């Protein structure tokens, strides 16, 4: 398993990124965590529908998205807000989606990030089709799909991996192995020693990376993206991480996991190790930290305000969203609603 930055912030070997690049990644992780905490709080206040927190997985998500070009494709999950945001999806739309508003699913023009799939595993094959089309059209774009360890038990994982390898599509499969499929531990989900090793059977490289090390994730995903862009085909990456929070706000992790385990993972916090690294290199100060947190908080508050300022959706919109032009049947129902 590749680690570039140890949990204590030391770099045993060599870090292929500059101090400035590391400061930027750190700032982005701070912003992402601020969003995550804000959403948890808003859900408790009844302002959001169910929320699936990603705390603990910031490095896997920010690191992966940082490896992409701005026009690459992303097909991710309901737990991937940080990844989607780093790929260009605005916080305000992510919040809007969680308030229960379909308008939150509309990525801005030019941002090639699909709205998250809520069913588990059905979206990986979309990244294969997207990448396949881009390869046929010679655009150089790649598609990254993110999913959890639980999704690798779905039959669709097999079909997506197989198609990607068969057609040599520029697809990067990023598995954030966060330890649990809701309550079911990774060790019980599959007899494979790792998820990465499954790649072997499909005829593509499978790489294990410390998912709490943003530099290692960026490095590994970066090389997979490079291979894909060069026509060298797909890669499976298993980023080993841990979901510090519950599966969703409707979940109680106390029923299935030992809190000591979570405490152990807190010591491997993806933000803290970069902070230690930066501090040692003279790139961190309490003042800068305070500035980052204030800025992040302002940004997220502004996004929340934008999401909450959306006018209430009309009844007509939900019907008009189904086809490019309303069908005769939809027209008739629009008429009924209007009465």
Partner 1 sequence: MSELTLAQSLNGALATALESDERVVLLGEDIGRTGGVFRITDGLRDKYGENRVFDTPVAESGIVGAALGMAIAGMRPVAELQFLGFSYPAYDQIINHVARIRNRSNHRFTAPLVIRVPFGGGIGAAEHHSESTEAIYAHIPGLKVVVPSTPSDARGLLLAAIEDPDPVLFLEPIRLYRAVKEDVPELYYTTEIGPLRVEREGNDITLVSWGAMMKETRAAASRLEESGASVEVLDVRTLSPIDADGIVRSATKTGRVVVVHEAPRTGGMGAEVAAIVQERALYSLTAPVRRVTGWDTVFPLKRSEGHYLPNADRIVRVAQQTLET
Could you tell me the smallest distance in angstroms from the CB atom of residue 113 to partner 1? 10
Could you tell me the smallest distance in angstroms from the CB atom of residue 135 to partner 1? 10
Could you tell me the smallest distance in angstroms from the CB atom of residue 251 to partner 1? 22
Q: Which is nearer to partner 1, 161 or 292 (CB)?
A: 161
Which has the closest alpha carbon to 113: 135, 136, 132, 91?
91
Q: Which is nearer to partner 1, 23 or 321 (CB)?
A: 321
Kindly tell me the burial class for residue 305, based on how many C-beta atoms sit within 10 Å of its own C-beta (0-12, 13-18, 19 or more): exposed
Tokens (6 digits) for 213: 């090390």
State how far the Cα of 264 lies from the Cα of 261, in Å rounded to an integer: 5
Q: Which is nearer to partner 1, 31 or 72 (CB)?
A: 72
Residue with tokens 């639980």: 150
Could you tell me the smallest distance in angstroms from the CB atom of residue 39 to partner 1? 19
The angle subtended at Cα 55 by Cα 54 and Cα 56, nearest 5°, is 110
Could you tell me the smallest distance in angstroms from the CB atom of residue 100 to partner 1? 13
User: Do the Cβ atoms of 120 and 148 come closer than 8 Å?
Assistant: yes
Q: Compute and round to an integer the Cα radius of gyration of the chain.
A: 20
Q: How far is CA 333 from CA 318, 320, 322, in A?
A: 11, 10, 13
Catalytic (active-site) positions = 243, 247, 256
Could you tell me the smallest distance in angstroms from the CB atom of residue 136 to partner 1? 6
State how far the Cα of 253 lies from the Cα of 262, in Å rounded to an integer: 10
Tokens (6 digits) for 160: 């997506």
Q: Which is nearer to partner 1, 117 or 241 (CB)?
A: 117
Ramachandran region, residue 93 (left: φ > 0; alpha: ψ -120 to 50; beta: rest): alpha
Instruction: Say how many CA atoms lie within 13 Å of 323 toward its Cβ.
Output: 7
Tokens (6 digits) for 109: 């023009």
Q: Which residues bind partner 1 (CB under 8 A)?
A: 73, 75, 102-103, 105-107, 109, 114-115, 117, 119, 122-123, 125-134, 136-137, 143, 155-156, 159-160, 162-163, 166-167, 321-324, 327-330, 332
DSSP string for 222-238: HHHHHHHHTT---EEEE
């Amino acid at each position: 398993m590749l680690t570039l930055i140890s949990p204590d912030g030391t770099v045993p070997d060599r870090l292929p990124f500059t101090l400035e690049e590391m400061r930027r990644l750190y700032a982005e992780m701070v912003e992402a965590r601020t969003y995550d905490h804000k959403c948890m709080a808003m859900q408790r206040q009844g302002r959001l529908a169910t929320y699936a927190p990603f705390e603990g997985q910031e490095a896997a998500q920010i690191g992966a998205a940082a490896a992409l070009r701005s026009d690459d494709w992303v097909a991710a999950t309901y737990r991937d807000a940080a990844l989607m945001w780093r790929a260009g999806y605005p916080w305000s739309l992510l919040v809007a989606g969680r308030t229960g508003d379909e308008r939150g699913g509309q990525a801005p023009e030019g941002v090639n990030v699909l709205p998250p799939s809520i069913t588990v595993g059905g979206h990986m094959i979309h990244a294969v089709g997207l990448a396949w089309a881009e390869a046929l059209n010679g655009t150089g774009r790649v598609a990254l799909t993110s999913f959890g360890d639980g999704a690798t038990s779905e039959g669709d994982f097999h079909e997506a991996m197989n198609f990607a390898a068969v057609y040599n599509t520029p697809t990067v499969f990023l598995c954030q192995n966060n330890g649990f499929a809701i309550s079911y531990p990774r060790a019980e989900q599959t007899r494979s020693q790792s998820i990465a090793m499954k790649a072997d059977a499909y005829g593509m490289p499978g790489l294990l990376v410390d998912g709490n090390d943003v530099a290692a994730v960026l490095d590994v995903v970066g090389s997979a993206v490079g291979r894909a862009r060069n026509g060298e085909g797909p890669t499976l990456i298993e980023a080993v991480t841990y979901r510090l929070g519950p599966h969703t706000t409707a979940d109680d992790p106390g029923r299935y996991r030992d809190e000591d385990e979570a405490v152990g993972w807190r010591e491997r916090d993806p933000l803290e190790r970069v902070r230690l690294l930066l501090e040692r290199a003279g790139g961190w100060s309490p003042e800068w930290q305070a500035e980052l947190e204030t800025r992040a908080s302002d940004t997220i508050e502004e996004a929340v305000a934008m999401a909450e300022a959306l006018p209430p959706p009309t009844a007509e919109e939900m019907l008009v969203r189904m086809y490019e032009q309303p069908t005769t049947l939809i027209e008739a129902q629009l008429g009924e609603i209007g009465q």
